[in-house]
Amino acid sequence: MEELRKYAKELLEKGEVAAVIGYQQVNERRTKPIIVTDPADATKLVFNEYCLNNLSVYFTRARIRSLMRTKDKPTKLAITAKPCDVHSIIALIQENQIQRNDVHIISFYCHGVVRDFGCEFSGDYLASKCITCETHKPLYYDKIFGEDKVTPQASDKSLAKIKELEKMSSKERFDYFKSEFDKCIKCYACRAVCPLCYCQRCITDKTIPRWIESSSHGRGNFAWNIVRAFHLSGRCTGCGECDRACPMDIPLSLINRRMAMEVKDLFSFVSGRSLETPTLVGSFDKKDNDEIFM
């Protein structure tokens, strides 16, 4: 921890970065995001199993981006990122939302995080994405801390649920999602926490014409959640922030994970894994199977 703080402080003091987007401790089992611009505040930075937020979401926020242009020359933004958060950063770079040169990635060897704040760190309360994680070491980084440790064992309940849903008839599956979407209150926390949901004006906020009903009734909720699923297909990196943020406990990542499985099967593509390859949509080929189009 001291190494991280010292490193962040030096980056800020030398003017190499305009800010460090990091985590600070709230209580024993909770952290929260902090935007450090004053080197003296670098002492607040932490990294542990309670660093749940995917901080790459801040790269597309106007207020944070404006920090990059506060000095004479544009300066970088540093970010403390889990290896899975680095996937989102890669996706954002691929989609031209931020340049690789503008980001200073401070990452860690990761052995998993908890499902939600307040949980103890064990197999029972491990975040779903950590169960099948193969990226304990980040794919890209400018600085890495920590050491490789073993992730607690846990059963993949999310995959079991997907298999269960696949076996259902389409009517049963529809009814399952209807009962889940009925809970939706359209607070759009899922959209707000998603690093890849960066549209300046979301289609749900467009009113002339109104494509998606703003009412949180069955039709409006289906419309929103289906649009969300489509817009994130081949783009979602599986960070699971939407699941965590949903106040109504709707299992949103089931949809995203299922779509990611589909994309992997059809195109052998996994979002946010390589800076050398184009995005899925960006790699359209005339030879692609027609069936993939709606």
Partner 1 sequence: MEEKIITKEDLLKLCDDIIAKGHTLLAPGIAEYVPVTNASQIQLDSSALPTKASYKSYVFPKAEPILYYKRSKNDVQLIDADVDGKKIIVLGAKPCDTNSINIMRHLFNWDYEDKFFDLRQKHFIIIGLMCNSFDDYCFCTSVGSSPVSEEGSDLFLIPLDEETFALRIVTEKGDEFIQQYSGFLKEGDETRSFAVIEKVKHPEKAFDSKQVHEWLGNNFESPKWDGIGNVCLSCAQCAFVCPVCHCFDIVDEDYSYSEGRRMKNWDGCQFGHFTLHASGHNPRDIQSKRYRQRVNHKFRYYVDKFGQILCTGCGRCSRGCPVSIDIKEIVANCKD
The one among 40, 160, 187, 275 contacting partner 1 by CB under 8 A: 187
Q: What is the 3-state secondary structure (H, E, C) of the chain?
A: CHHHHHHHHHHHHCCCEEEEEEEEEEECCEEEEEEECCHHHHHHEECCCCCCCCHHHHHHCHHHHHHHHCCCCCCEEEEEECHHHHHHHHHHHHCCCCCHHHEEEEEECCCCCECCCCCCCCHHHECHHHHCCCCCCCCCCCEEECCCCCCCCCCCHHHHHHHHHHHCCHHHHHHHHHHHHCCCCCCCHHHHHCCCCCCCCCHHHCECCECCCCCCCHHHHHHHHHHHHHHHCCCCCCCCHHHHHCCCCCCHHHHHHHHHHHHHHHHCCCCCCCCCCCCCHHHCCCCCCHHHCC
CB of 125 to partner 1, least distance (A): 15
Contacting residue, 199, 248, 275, 292, with partner 1 by CB under 8 A:
248
Residues 64-123 binding partner 1 (CB under 8 A) are: 64, 117
152/220 with CB nearer partner 1:
220
Nearest residue (CB) to partner 1, 53 versus 80: 53
User: Which two three-digit tokens encode residue 137?
Assistant: 């070491």
Mask 144-163, x = binds partner 1 (CB under 8 A)?
A: --------------------
Contacts (CB under 8 A) with partner 1, residues 24-43: 26-27, 30-35
Candidate list 79, 84, 114, 193; residue touching partner 1; CB under 8 A? 193
Which of 149, 163, 210, 264 binds partner 1 (CB under 8 A)? It is 210
Q: Does residue 56 bind partner 1 (CB under 8 A)?
A: no
Q: Is 247 in the site for partner 1 (CB under 8 A)?
A: yes
Give the nearest distance from C-beta 50 to partner 1 in angstroms: 10
Map 161-190 to HEC letters: HHHHHHHCCHHHHHHHHHHHHCCCCCCCHH
Residue closer to partner 1 (CB basis): 244 or 257: 244
Q: Which one, 67 or 263, has the nearer CB to partner 1?
A: 67
Query: Judged by CB, which is closer to partner 1: 244, or 258?
Result: 244
Looking at beta carbons only, is 89 or 263 nearer to partner 1? Answer: 89
Q: Are 192 and 284 in contact (CB under 8 A)?
A: no
Of the two residues 98 and 263, which places its CB atom closer to partner 1 in the complex? 98
Interacting residue ranges for partner 1, rule: CB under 8 A: 26-27, 30-35, 53, 57-58, 61, 63-64, 117, 183, 185-189, 191-193, 205, 210, 213-217, 220, 241, 244-245, 247-249
